[in-house]
Each structure stands twice: as structure tokens, then as C-alpha cells.
Amino acid sequence: MVQQPKRILAILISVFLLCGIMSVTASAAPPANPSSNASWDFTTVTANGSGTGWLWVQSTKTLTLANFTHTTSAMIALNLPDGATLVLNGTNEITSTYSGSNYSRGIAGNNLTITGSGRLYANSGSGTMSSSYGIAAVGNLIINGCTIIAKGGNGARGSNGVLVYENLTITNATVTATGGTATESSQGIYPWYGSLTINNSTVAATGGTANFTSYGIRADDSLVMITDSIVNATGGGGVAGFSYGIGVGNLTISGASITATGGTTNHKDGYWDDSIGIFANSLQMNSGTINATGGTAGCSYGISMDNFTVTGGTITATGGTALDDTSSGIHGDKLTINGGIVNTKGGNADFSYGFGLNELKISDGTVTATGGTANISSCGIGAFKLTISGGTITAIGNTSAISPDYIVPSGYRYWINTTPSATGASGPFTSNGTVAMVISSGHRYAKIETNIIPATYTLTLNANGGNVTPSSVTQAQGTTYTLPTPTPTPALNGYSFTGWTLSGGGSLNGNVYTFGTSNGTVTAGWTLNPVSYIATVNNGSGGGSYATNATVTITANAAPSGKVFDKWTTPDGVSFTNANATTTSFTMPAKNVTVTATYKDVPEQKNCIFNTSYEATLINWFMFIFLFGWLWMR
């Protein structure tokens, strides 16, 4: 009985030591190696880790893959924490082969960045009662500089190649995204609530077969910016509702090449279904090319929109075969054409229109509108309100060339004849001025021409001490002239041209002058080039040529073996922001300077009782066994 309290004390002390052992061993949670039957999950990781083809850095939440392959039957193949970065080197593949009632993701993350120079295949499994996404980001997703091939599997509710809940940005990258077969909807790329920006990239997005909707690119009521990129978007087939190549809120295109194709729907009489190349609430075409084609459906449109403005570029819009109603090249509410080339054509339908619009305004550009084969009506331009103030327009329709509500611009004459051949010298179609528009068809012929010869005015180019050719230009009012760049004379050696300034008539936008109602003069501006000095960096980077008072940022090289960084030194009197930091900066003086990164020996490590958590664990076990045995024997 005397030994009983001692045994209890031994047990309590043992529990205390055991808890200490557990705290040491559980203080760090490195990532586990990927498993073929479990999700590779980094959301609970608290320490660095690595394996064949992969490296995890906890402090930056960065996972680097190098020719890495991971296939698992888990719902999520790779699960990354909020704010993670995935760096790609070589060719990598992440695949979920899951097949079950839950959702499936190839890669899941929140505010995820994917970058690097490599390639990634991301594939998801099948969600027989839910959804399937190749890549899914709850917050934002940034894809930069890499190649992504993302594919959604079969899903009951939906399937997406890439799904983003907020904003998706693709820059200097190549992305191929494919939605799988879905009961409800399938999308290649779908930023659900946010914007989509594609810049200097190549993107191919394809929706899969679905019972309700299929999009190549979908962004409901969101802003989509496509700049200097190649985009190919295709809606899937076999859809009972809508198949869109691109279906977005507000779309702006600058310098891009867009090919958008609606798929063939599973049309049934009495059901409403559309196939559209591009659908947008608001569409702005600045430059580049669009080739938009509708597929076979109840109604088919190359482009369908609420408000569309064209200022440049080339657009080809073609409606497909409409089985139930209307096919139009461009369909919608308001279209304004201020420049560019627009070719539009309706497909086979009951009603086939090149343009099928509420309102069409044309001030410039070259426009061709053709109605296709129609059971009831074929019209080149079908618009309830048509206003033309310039441009070259050709409209062809088997029933009529244009709709009857036509507003004749001021200064133009307008005729309609029943034959397209009444263009002889004795007829009303004799041109005695600049032809602004020609509309022709087998049934109606219309021609607009003007007798007004616009006045001409002179623009004088004053090089202001430099050289420029020509020194003056004479053109008609309203025309434009792109100003040349003058060159400096010997007297202006060391000076650079800063731009033109305008006095007098006309208007100037950058280097483009528009002739007004009086003569104008543009004068060249010059500025003295800044003097630069050399910053030489020893044992580091950041050196080069800098102007006086410029901020020079320098970074020390990695320390040699057995050394650590000490400080920055210079014999030239510059003041460092922090001389003890490996990366620092200084203000460039008006002279050449040299700065040097210095190093010192690694400080000697002093002995201690235990240096690692492993040694601490062994000593705790030894104390536990010794004390427990001693107390027990007493």
C-alpha cells in the first residue's frame, strides 16, 4: 500500500513527459508524399517538404513541380492553401480518377497563382451527382508564362476545364480548357462572379456535351478583356438549351484574333434553343479579327449582343442553320460601326438576315451584309432604325436589300429601283461625286452618292530646329494624316523629340492630325537628354547606367561557403538605405560609383545539451524510463 502513491506519481510524471515528447514530434507537419488513393493536401501543412519531382516551401506557400506525375482515386488530386503559388518546370500531370456521387477536382485552391516555364495537365474525375473541374479556384486565379491543359470529367451538375469564383487573369501563357459531359452545363473556362483578362496569350476553350448549356468561355455579366492574344472558343453540341462559343457580360477586344463557334443543339419542336458564336451584353471591337459562327439550332447567330461598337479590325459573323426561326450574322439591339471591315451573313432559316437589329449606325468602314436562303424573308440589313453617314456598304437579300425605315444623311441623295442594272449614264444612278454606299439585290437597288466636294486645308510641319519631310500637307476636311518623327540637326545633338503641339485649325491626337475647317501648324518639341553615370556592383547585381538622383537597387550575391553577408561598402560616399541588408538601395550621385558586398565568417556555434528535437526526444524517453523504474522499485 505504501508504494501505491509512488506509482501514481510515476504515472503522472510519465504522462507529463509523454506530452512533452508529443509536442516536440508534432511541432511541425511537413507535407505527405502523394498517394494513389488520397488527396495530396497542403492546406494543413506547416513545414517544408520535398520528394521526387516536387518541393514545398511553407514560408511562401510555393509548390514547385518538375516532370512530376500524380494520379489518385481521391475526389481532389491536389489541394492547395489560400494564396499558394504553383511553379511548373518540365511536363507535369495531376489527375483524379474519382468516380462517385461527390464533386471531383484535379487541382483545387483559393487565390492561386500558376507560373513557370513548364507544362501542366490537370484532369478531374466524375461526379455522378455533383460537378467536375480540371482546375478550381475559390478566389482569384492567375496563370502566367506557363502551359496549362485542364479538363473536367463527367459531372451531373456541371463540368469545367477551369472554374474560378472571382477573377481569372491569363498572361503570356498557353491555356487549353475543356469541359466534360454534364447533365446541366459544361464550360471550358468559367470565371463565375469575376472578370476574365487574357493578355498576350493563346487560349483554346471548349464546352462539352450538356443537357442545358455549353460554353467555350463563359463569364456571366462580367468584364472580359482580350488583348494581343489568340482565342479559340467553341460551345459543345447535343445541348437542349444554349451553345455559345463565348458568352459574357462586357467584352473588349484589342489586337486579338478571336474564333468563336456555337455548337449544334439537340433541337426539338416547341423548345427554345440558340447557337451563338459570341454573346455579350456589351461588345467593343477596337482592333484585331473576329470570326464568329453560329451552329445548327432553333435560332442561330454569329454574334448576338445588346450594344456593339466597332472602331477597327475585321469582323466576319455568320449565322448557322436555324431550324425554327431566325438566322443572323449579327443580331441584337444597337450596333455602331465607326471603322473597320464587317462581313455578316445569315444562314438557312425562315428569316435570314445579315444584320437583324433594332438600330444600326454606320459612319465609316467597309460593310457587307447578306441574307441567306430563307423560307419567308431574306434581307441584307434588317434594322428598325438605320442611319448611315459614311462608309462603303453593300447589302444583298433575296427578299429585300434593306429594311424600309432608312434615314438619309444630309447632303446625300437616295434612290430605289426594281432592277439592279439601272446604272447607265441616263439613269438616276450616275455618280458625279464620291460614292458613299452601294446596296444591291435581285429585287431592290439603292445607291447613295454626294455632289459635295469637300474643301481642302494645309497643315504646316515646323521642325523647330530639326529636320522633317514633308514640310506641309494639303488634304480634305475630315481626313487624317499621321505625322512623321523629325530628326535632330547637329545643333540639336544630345536632344530627343518629345512630340508635336498644334496651333490653328484641325485637331491632334498623339501623332494623328485631323484636318478641320482652317489651316493648322504643328511644332516639334525637343528636350535635352539626361546625363547618365555608371554604378559598378562588386559581389552583387544591380549595376548599370543611371541618371543623377535615380534610385539604384542592389542585391548581394549568395555568400561563399563558410561565410555570411556582412555589409555594403563604398569609397564614393553614397548613403545606403540599409548597409546591412542583402538587398538595399542608394541615390545615384552625379559621378561614377563603386559599391561592394562584403562577407564575414559564419559565427562559431556553441555546444548545448541538445541541438535538435530528435536528441531532446531521446533524452526525454531515457528520463522517463529511468524515473519510472526508480519509483517503481521503491
Quickly tell me which residue has 468516380 as its cell.
99
pLDDT computed for residue 628 by the predictor: 65
Q: State the pLDDT at residue 610.
A: 44
At CA 462, angle to CA 457 and CA 464, rounded to 5?
Answer: 170
What pLDDT, on a 0 to 100 scale, did the predictor assign at position 22? 37
pLDDT at 614 over 60: no
Among 386-400, 449-463, 527-541, which is the least confidently predicted range? 449-463
What integer is the mean pLDDT of 461-482?
92
Residue range 127-133: average pLDDT?
84
Average pLDDT, the chain: 83
- Which of 18-32, 332-346, 410-424 is predicted least confidently? 410-424
Of the two residues 609 and 381, the one the predictor is more confident about is: 381
pLDDT at 444: 34
Q: Please tell me the distance from the alpha carbon of residue 340 to that of residue 198, in angstroms, as a whole number.
A: 22
21 pLDDT band (50/70/90 cuts)? very low
| pLDDT: which is higher, 366 or 8 | 366
How much of the chain exceeds pLDDT 70, in percent? Answer: 82
Is the per-residue pLDDT at 632 higher than 50?
A: yes
Of 54-63, 71-80, 370-379, 458-467, the one with minimum mean pLDDT is 370-379
Q: Say if residue 603's pLDDT is above 90.
A: no
Taking only the tens place, the pLDDT of each residue in 569-583 is 999 999 999 999 999
- Respond yes or no on whether the N-terminal peptide bond of residue 470 is cis (omega within 30° of 0): yes
For residue 127, what are the β-bridge partners? Answer: 100, 155
| Distance, CA of 290 to CA of 279 (rounded, Å) | 13
pLDDT score recorded for residue 407: 42
Whether the per-residue pLDDT at 39 is higher than 60: the answer is yes
Confidence tier at 359 by pLDDT (50, 70, 90): confident
Kindly tell me if the per-residue pLDDT of 18 is higher than 90: no
Q: What is the dihedral of CA 262, 307, 440, 352, to 10 degrees?
A: 40
Burial status of residue 22 (CB atoms within 10 A of its CB: 0-12, 13-18, 19 or more) = exposed
3-state secondary structure of 374: strand
What pLDDT, in 10s, does the model give residues 233-254? Answer: 999 887 767 899 999 989 999 9
The answer to whether residue 100 scores a pLDDT higher than 70 is: yes
Sorting pLDDT into bands at 50, 70 and 90, what band is 224? confident
What is the mean pLDDT of the segment spanning 158-177? Answer: 95
Helix (H, G, I), strand (E, B) or coil at 620: helix
% residues pLDDT > 90 (the chain): 56
Q: What is the pLDDT of residue 437?
A: 38
Mean predicted confidence (pLDDT) in 432-461: 49
User: Does 474 have pLDDT greater than 70?
Assistant: yes
* pLDDT surpasses 60 at 160: yes
Which numeric CATH code is attached to 456-528? 2.60.40
Distance CA 383, CA 376 (A): 17
pLDDT mean over 354-372: 89
The pLDDT tens digits for 396-432 are: 887 777 765 344 444 433 433 333 333 332 333 333 3
Average pLDDT over residues 624-632: 67
pLDDT bin (cut points 50, 70, 90) of residue 509 is very high
Lowest mean pLDDT among 268-282, 292-306, 391-405, 445-459: 445-459
Contact status, residue 395 vs residue 354, Cβ threshold 8 Å: yes
pLDDT at 473 over 80: yes
- Residue type for 193, please? Y
Which pLDDT does position 476 carry in this prediction?
Answer: 84
